[in-house]
Amino acid sequence: MPSATPVAVALGVALALASGASLAQYKVIGPDGKVTYTDRPPATTDSKVTALNGRGGAAAAEAVMPLELRQAVTRYPVTLYASTGACEPCDAGRAMLRQRGIPFAEKQVQSAEDGDALERVSGGRDAPTLAIGSQMLRGYSPEVWASYLDAAGYPRESRLPVGYQYPAPAPIVERRDANVARAAPAASAPEAPAAPPPASPTGIKF
């Protein structure tokens, strides 16, 4: 039986490596320069991590977050619901989250449809409203926000990786092409919380 040629062996090795890399979600370059592929981000922060499969820079930044912060983000993601107009409480809340190094998505009330969606998910039309996991905090109160972030396990000082960029604000209701919107069935409304907290006097309503 003829033995495998060097070309066939090399091709087999290349295919095996390519298959392993295609199943991985992260490319990790260790301090020693060694490259590995894995489906989970490393727990240490001394490696360079690149997200694969189109997850983009946000996933790569999340991968190099300290374990404590990454766990909080996974269990209790933070979303800030804010107004696009003049809103000092919104600005103060946004600044507080960034100063503390809280990764968050910002959803803005840009239309009456957005206002209706905010009322469905939070039980009110207050801006700002902060969502920490399933908990809705209506109106800005630095003490209340801080206590809930503490309870969710977020560090009290910024632990974000260098160069972290917050995602751009987006409307609460995703805008779609008019023709697509007419053809698509209406989306079901999110379930409102059973007992939303009372609105803070520092917030505004729509």
- Confidence class of residue 48 from pLDDT cuts 50, 70 and 90? low
Task: Clarify whether residues 53 and 126 are in a common domain.
Answer: no
Residue 8 in tokens: 């066939």
Identify whether residues 5 and 59 lie together within a single domain. yes
Per-residue DSSP letter, 153 = T
Is 112 found in the same domain as 47? no
pLDDT in tens, 89-109: 999 999 999 999 999 999 999
The residue among 64, 88, 117 that closes a domain is 64
Check whether residue 56 and residue 110 sit in a common domain.
Answer: no
Whether residue 52 contacts residue 76, with contact meaning beta carbons closer than 8 Å, is answered with no
Q: In this model, does residue 23 exceed pLDDT 60?
A: no
Give the pLDDT confidence of 108-120 residue by residue, as tens digits.
999 999 999 999 9
Is the model more confident about 163 or about 58?
A: 163
Q: Are residues 106 and 183 in the same domain?
A: yes
Q: Could you tell me the pTM of the whole model?
A: 0.60
- CATH code where residue 156 lies: 3.40.30.10
- Are 109 and 130 in a shared domain? yes
Q: Which of 161, 153, 106 is nearest to 130 (CA)?
A: 106
Instruction: Select from 64, 97, 112 the last residue of a domain.
Output: 64
| Same domain, residue pair 95 and 28 | no
Residue that terminates a domain, selected from 23, 48, 64: 64
- The contacts of residue 96 (CB under 8 Å, 6+ apart) are 142, 145, 146
Place of tokens 């609460």: 172
The pLDDT of residue 171: 96
Return mean pLDDT, the chain. 76
Ranges of H-type helices in 101-177:
112-122, 142-151
What is the tally of structural domains in the chain?
A: 2
Q: Distance between CA atoms of 196 and 51, rounded to whole angstroms? A: 37
Does residue 77 sit in the same domain as residue 140? Answer: yes
Which residues constitute the domain of residue 50?
Answer: 1-64
